[in-house]
Amino acid sequence: MRAVLLLAVVLAACAQAPVEPEPADSVVPGTIGVVVRQERSAVVVSAARPGNGVRGGDVVLRYNGETVLTPRQFYRLVFDSAPGTVARLEVQREGAALVLEVPVRELDLMPRA
Protein backbone atom coordinates (compact mmCIF):
# COMPACT_ATOMS: atom_id res chain seq x y z
CA MET A 1 0.00 0.00 0.00
CA ARG A 2 2.84 2.39 0.85
CA ALA A 3 4.46 1.72 -2.54
CA VAL A 4 1.23 2.69 -4.32
CA LEU A 5 0.91 5.85 -2.23
CA LEU A 6 4.54 6.77 -2.89
CA LEU A 7 4.07 6.19 -6.62
CA ALA A 8 0.97 8.43 -6.61
CA VAL A 9 2.91 11.23 -4.87
CA VAL A 10 5.80 10.98 -7.37
CA LEU A 11 3.43 11.01 -10.36
CA ALA A 12 1.57 14.01 -8.96
CA ALA A 13 4.84 15.88 -8.46
CA CYS A 14 5.96 15.09 -12.00
CA ALA A 15 2.64 16.25 -13.44
CA GLN A 16 3.03 19.64 -11.74
CA ALA A 17 6.66 20.18 -12.81
CA PRO A 18 7.04 22.65 -15.68
CA VAL A 19 8.05 21.06 -18.98
CA GLU A 20 11.02 22.71 -20.65
CA PRO A 21 10.48 23.14 -24.39
CA GLU A 22 13.03 21.43 -26.59
CA PRO A 23 15.48 23.82 -28.18
CA ALA A 24 14.83 24.61 -31.82
CA ASP A 25 17.04 22.98 -34.40
CA SER A 26 19.77 25.53 -34.98
CA VAL A 27 21.40 23.91 -38.00
CA VAL A 28 21.63 26.49 -40.77
CA PRO A 29 22.91 25.23 -44.12
CA GLY A 30 25.63 27.16 -45.90
CA THR A 31 26.04 28.16 -49.53
CA ILE A 32 28.89 29.53 -51.58
CA GLY A 33 26.74 30.44 -54.59
CA VAL A 34 28.07 27.72 -56.90
CA VAL A 35 26.17 25.26 -59.09
CA VAL A 36 28.07 22.15 -60.23
CA ARG A 37 27.52 19.23 -62.59
CA GLN A 38 29.19 15.88 -63.21
CA GLU A 39 31.24 15.85 -66.41
CA ARG A 40 32.88 12.50 -67.01
CA SER A 41 34.87 11.90 -63.81
CA ALA A 42 35.05 15.57 -62.80
CA VAL A 43 32.82 17.97 -60.87
CA VAL A 44 32.56 21.12 -62.97
CA VAL A 45 31.13 24.54 -62.05
CA SER A 46 28.09 25.39 -64.20
CA ALA A 47 27.37 28.77 -62.62
CA ALA A 48 28.77 30.91 -59.82
CA ARG A 49 27.76 34.02 -57.89
CA PRO A 50 29.62 37.03 -59.30
CA GLY A 51 32.49 38.26 -57.16
CA ASN A 52 33.29 35.07 -55.26
CA GLY A 53 36.25 34.17 -57.51
CA VAL A 54 34.75 30.95 -58.88
CA ARG A 55 34.04 30.76 -62.62
CA GLY A 56 31.95 28.54 -64.84
CA GLY A 57 34.13 25.75 -66.21
CA ASP A 58 36.31 25.49 -63.08
CA VAL A 59 36.93 21.86 -62.13
CA VAL A 60 36.44 21.36 -58.39
CA LEU A 61 39.25 19.29 -56.90
CA ARG A 62 38.87 19.78 -53.13
CA TYR A 63 36.59 21.52 -50.66
CA ASN A 64 38.25 22.39 -47.35
CA GLY A 65 40.90 19.75 -48.07
CA GLU A 66 38.46 16.96 -48.91
CA THR A 67 38.64 15.53 -52.44
CA VAL A 68 35.38 16.14 -54.31
CA LEU A 69 34.16 13.16 -56.35
CA THR A 70 30.47 13.91 -57.06
CA PRO A 71 28.12 16.89 -57.11
CA ARG A 72 26.11 15.32 -54.28
CA GLN A 73 29.20 15.11 -52.09
CA PHE A 74 30.15 18.70 -53.00
CA TYR A 75 26.71 20.03 -52.00
CA ARG A 76 26.79 18.07 -48.73
CA LEU A 77 30.18 19.61 -47.87
CA VAL A 78 28.89 23.10 -48.69
CA PHE A 79 25.60 22.65 -46.78
CA ASP A 80 27.53 21.44 -43.73
CA SER A 81 29.73 24.57 -43.75
CA ALA A 82 28.85 27.16 -41.13
CA PRO A 83 27.63 30.50 -42.48
CA GLY A 84 30.09 33.27 -41.73
CA THR A 85 33.13 31.09 -42.34
CA VAL A 86 35.42 30.93 -45.37
CA ALA A 87 35.64 27.79 -47.53
CA ARG A 88 38.89 26.79 -49.16
CA LEU A 89 38.05 25.66 -52.68
CA GLU A 90 40.76 24.06 -54.81
CA VAL A 91 39.95 24.19 -58.52
CA GLN A 92 41.62 23.63 -61.83
CA ARG A 93 41.19 26.47 -64.31
CA GLU A 94 42.67 26.34 -67.80
CA GLY A 95 45.21 23.75 -66.67
CA ALA A 96 46.36 25.65 -63.58
CA ALA A 97 45.54 24.69 -59.99
CA LEU A 98 44.08 27.55 -57.92
CA VAL A 99 43.11 27.86 -54.27
CA LEU A 100 40.13 30.17 -53.71
CA GLU A 101 38.81 31.39 -50.40
CA VAL A 102 35.05 31.71 -50.76
CA PRO A 103 32.75 33.17 -48.09
CA VAL A 104 30.04 30.82 -46.83
CA ARG A 105 26.66 32.48 -46.54
CA GLU A 106 23.40 31.33 -45.01
CA LEU A 107 21.29 29.36 -47.47
CA ASP A 108 17.90 31.07 -47.84
CA LEU A 109 15.26 28.34 -47.59
CA MET A 110 12.24 30.67 -47.44
CA PRO A 111 9.63 29.90 -50.09
CA ARG A 112 9.03 32.59 -52.66
CA ALA A 113 5.58 33.64 -53.85
List, for residues 15-74, the tens digit of each pLDDT value: 565 655 555 555 789 999 999 999 999 999 999 999 999 999 999 999 999 999 999 999
Do residues 106 and 100 lie in contact, with contact meaning Cβ atoms separated by under 8 Å?
A: no
- Residue 26 sits at the vertex; the CA angle it makes with 17 and 20, to the nearest 5 degrees, is 0
Confirm whether pTM is higher than 0.75. Answer: no
Element (H, E) at 12: helix 2-16
CATH superfamily, domain at 30-106: PDZ domain (2.30.42.10)
* Phi, psi of 72, deg, nearest 5: -60, -45
